């Protein structure tokens, strides 16, 4: 498993959700922002505190969290 030295979790901050470097910026919000702003330059204008390594670790953290979990099948109707 990769080291996530930029991902922090504190029970009293952001309801204990994993955050970037202790900021009030959750990993989930970074992932949502990546989906909203596919252009990294625009993303960084919106979140100037976000660094490339923060983004990389947020993606890796999400991938590790989902690794080897059995997810229910998606039903398309």
Encode pLDDT of 47-72 as tens digits. Answer: 999 999 999 999 999 988 887 666 67
Structural domain that includes position 38: 7-66
Q: Work out how many domains the chain is built from and give that number.
A: 1
pTM: 0.80
Residue 30 lies in a domain: yes
Q: Average pLDDT over the chain, rounded to whole?
A: 89
Whole-number pLDDT of residue 1:
45
Q: Are 37 and 43 a contacting pair, CB within 8 Å?
A: yes
- Tokens for 10, please give them: 């504190």
CATH number of 51's domain: 1.10.10.10
The SS3 assignment for 26 reads: strand
With a CB cutoff of 8 Å and minimum separation 6, the contacts of 19 are 7, 8, 9, 10, 13, 25, 26, 27
Residue 48 lies in a domain: yes
Please give the distance of CA 48 from its chain centroid, rounded to a whole number: 16
What pLDDT band is residue 73 in, cutting at 50, 70 and 90? confident
Mean pLDDT of 33-37: 93
What pLDDT band is residue 3 in, cutting at 50, 70 and 90? confident
Please give the distance of CA 44 from its chain centroid, rounded to a whole number: 14
């Amino acid at each position: 498993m990769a080291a996530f030295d930029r991902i922090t979790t504190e029970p009293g901050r952001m309801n204990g959700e994993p955050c970037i470097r202790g900021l009030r910026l959750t990993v989930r919000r970074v992932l949502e922002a990546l989906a909203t702003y596919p252009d990294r330059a625009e993303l960084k204008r919106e979140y100037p505190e976000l660094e490339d390594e923060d983004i990389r670790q947020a993606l890796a953290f999400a991938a590790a969290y989902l690794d080897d979990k059995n997810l229910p099948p998606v039903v398309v109707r």
